[in-house]
Amino acid sequence: MKKPELLAPAGNLEKLKMALMYGADAVYMGGKAFGLRAFSDNFEDIELKQGINFAHSLGKKAYITINIFPHNEDLPDLPDYIKSVAAMGADAIIVSDLGVFRIAREVAPTLPVHISTQANSVNWSTVKFWQELGASRVVLARELSLDDITLIRDKVDIELEAFIHGAMCISYSGRCLISNYLTGRDANRGQCAQPCRWKYHLVEESRPGVYLPVTEDERGTYIFNSKDLCLINHLPELIDSGLNSFKIEGRMKSVHYVATVVKVYREAIDSYCTSPDTFHIKQEWLDELQKVSHREYTTGFYFNKTNENDQIYTSSSYTQTHDFIGLVKEYNSETRLAVVEQRNNMKVGEEIEITQPGEEPFIQKISQMFDAEGSSIEVAPHPQQIVAMPMAKPVKPYAMLRRPEIRRER
């Protein structure tokens, strides 16, 4: 059995480091141009190089997104950008457009090219076409079933990648014109305004101002709003299908989201590959995926055509059970004090949970806190305030502090 790559999103350098420390085999990230997440933090050129180097220092990989559908005015700077990415040591670029693919092969012929899900590869002949052109991997369209994926695997000899967790786009593999039509922001050039998450009413042309119900008991509905993809319960089938890479969506998601989701899938994949005959889904994995900000979960197109049960009609809200409140920067094993960067208001006496790479989470109370000058404090209210606090167990850098809460909409 070949263990699939676990591929994580990296919206900025901190998220990249967290994803890799929590168990990702590779990350995908975008520069300030030519990617489909223009409103993510993204990376300056020097940060791209730092991210690639950090991944390589851990024996892991970094892929760069160049997956917009460019117009003529986007092309002049593209060859130099591709050459610079290749010179940085990127392990591959991810592209959607044949024109971008042609330029990449011309200016950086040894740079591996992955074909984005935006290219809508839904059959084995299309995948074979990309293979014959020289692509090294195809990210399959999200509209495929597991049976479709298995058939494609049998027909081609190229790496296959598929999304296994994260937000779902209402449009065909993300190729959407609604944002451009309503706001002038082109989703296919990285500027999506996410109008699929807006609330809509039905208005009949001759009766302006009369908002007709779209569903039985509401005057408005989120008719485009998909549930989030989650395939943790189906890892054995996914691994057995022969997919080479499992992709997590979320370059615009939080540090807490990226680290938590990566950790869950890392543990589950390793558990199955170590002992497939005794593998079972652990409740703590399911619980962890409820702690991060998410919509209700669905299996998407993997096992059936999507229907009304895969949509959320009443709200575009997210839910989560825990707040991310701090990130461990250092730990002194003699004093048992951790240096923590505050990410949300926290107080002495609160019960918190600590999760960290490669370890089981544990719960403790904040018994004391000290500010940067060593003075005792009761509360840390300032964003990214540096505090020290005793830890019940040893912790590592990149450990996260979370505060359990009553589940609520966000």
Distance CA 300, CA 142 (A): 8
What fold does the segment set 5-173+225-317 form as a domain?
Answer: TIM Barrel (3.20.20)
Q: 64 vs 4, 52, 118, 266, CA distance in Å?
A: 20, 9, 15, 22
Q: Which of 230, 120, 114, 242 is nearest to 164 (CA)?
A: 230
Q: Which of 162, 191, 322, 333 is nearest to 254 (CA)?
A: 322
Locus of tokens 């505060």: 403
Res. 217: pLDDT tops 60: no
Please report the pLDDT score of residue 314 as a whole number. 62
What fold does the segment set 321-409 form as a domain?
Answer: Elongation Factor Tu (Ef-tu); domain 3 (2.40.30)
| 117-152 pLDDT, tens digit each | 999 999 999 999 999 999 999 999 988 999 999 999
Instruction: Let me know if 59 is exposed, middle or buried by CB neighbors in 10 A (0-12, 13-18, 19+).
Output: exposed
Distance CA 173, CA 117 (A): 6
Locus of tokens 């975008």: 30
Please report the pLDDT score of residue 367 as a whole number. 97
Res. 154: pLDDT tops 80: yes
CATH 2.40.30.10 in the chain is located at 321-409
Side chain identity, residue 2: K
Q: How confident is the model at residue 39 (pLDDT cuts 50, 70, 90)?
A: low
Please report the pLDDT score of residue 10 as a whole number. 95
Q: How confident is the model at residue 206 (pLDDT cuts 50, 70, 90)?
A: confident
Locus of tokens 């209700």: 296
CA atoms within 13 A on the CB side of 221: 16
Res. 89: pLDDT tops 60: yes
Q: How confident is the model at residue 216 (pLDDT cuts 50, 70, 90)?
A: very low
Which residues, 6+ apart, have CB-to-CB distance to 355 below 8 Å?
259, 260, 263, 288, 361, 399, 400, 402
For the chain, percent of residues with pLDDT exceeding 90: 70
Q: How confident is the model at residue 173 (pLDDT cuts 50, 70, 90)?
A: low
The alpha carbons of the chain give a radius of gyration, in whole angstroms, of 23
CB 405 within 8 A of CB 352: no
Q: Which of 128, 73, 76 is nearest to 107 (CA)?
A: 76
Please report the pLDDT score of residue 121 as a whole number. 94
**Average pLDDT over every residue of 327-347:** 96
Q: How many CB atoms lie within 10 A of CB 274?
A: 11
Backbone conformation region of residue 251, classed left if phi is above 0, alpha if psi is from -120 to 50, else beta = alpha
Token pair for 22? 């929590």
Please report the pLDDT score of residue 190 as a whole number. 66
Which 3 state secondary structure label does DSSP give 240?
helix
- Region of poorest pLDDT, from 122-126, 158-162, 263-267, 405-409: 405-409
Please report the pLDDT score of residue 336 as a whole number. 96
**Average pLDDT over every residue of 83-110:** 97
Please report the pLDDT score of residue 218 as a whole number. 45
Q: How many CB atoms lie within 10 A of CB 167?
A: 18
**Average pLDDT over every residue of 75-82:** 94
Res. 325: pLDDT tops 70: yes
CATH 3.20.20.70 in the chain is located at 5-173+225-317
Please report the pLDDT score of residue 109 as a whole number. 97
Res. 219: pLDDT tops 50: no
Res. 203: pLDDT tops 80: no
- Region of poorest pLDDT, from 5-9, 158-162, 218-222, 329-333: 218-222
φ, ψ of residue 38 in degrees (nearest 5): -65, -20
Q: Which of 157, 191, 197 is nearest to 177 (CA)?
A: 191
Helix (H) or strand (E) holding 312: none
Which residues sit opposite 61 in a β-bridge? 26
Instruction: Let me know if 12 is exposed, middle or buried by CB neighbors in 10 A (0-12, 13-18, 19+).
Output: middle
Written as one string, the DSSP assignment of 200-212 is B-EE-TTSTT-EE
More confident residue, 345 or 169: 345
pTM for the whole structure: 0.86
**Average pLDDT over every residue of 18-45:** 84
* Average model confidence (pLDDT) across the chain: 89
Q: How confident is the model at residue 56 (pLDDT cuts 50, 70, 90)?
A: very high
**Average pLDDT over every residue of 182-201:** 71
Please report the pLDDT score of residue 36 as a whole number. 60
